[in-house]
Amino acid sequence: MLKLTGRKRRHMRIMKKLMGTGERPRLCVFRSNRHIYVQIVDDTKQKALCGLSSIADKALGKKKKTEAALEIGRRIGKLAIEKGITQVAFDRAGYRYHGRVKAVAEGAREAGLKF
């Protein structure tokens, strides 16, 4: 419980400074023990523009978690570019910039998104 509470506190501290706009929406990452979930959110309209998760694709379930996160990052980057989004604000949601969270960011950069 303390680990979750600490992450929530860090996330709220980050959210005070980070805001997704129409020109630069927020790329938000949620990490569970098994899967990774990614959304692009416009906070001014309070609307998710697009989102992906590793749970939706059976092929990603056979990969290691970090490899699946890298692939999800690439796919969300391609999806964002198709929708006309080139720049995002990366919201790591209180997680350390390490492992799967870092892999999502690297995959999105490979696809052409700028942070």
pLDDT band at 1 (very low <50, low <70, confident <90, very high): low
**pTM passes above 0.75:** yes
Q: Residue 31 pLDDT more than 70? A: yes
pLDDT, tens only, 90-108:
999 999 999 999 999 999 9
**Buried b / exposed e across 57-70, counting CB within 10 Å, b at 16+?**
eeebeeeebeebbb
5, burial (CB in 10 Å: exposed 0-12, middle 13-18, buried 19+): exposed
pLDDT digits (tens, 9 = 90+) for 39-80: 999 999 999 999 999 998 877 878 899 999 999 999 999 999
If one counts the domains in the chain, the total is 1
Q: Where are the beta strands (DSSP E) in 1-115?
A: 26-31, 36-42, 47-53, 89-91
Give the domain range for residue 7: 2-111
How many residues are listed for the chain in this entry? Answer: 115
* Residue 39: CATH number of its domain: 3.30.420.100
pLDDT reading at 15 higher than 90: no
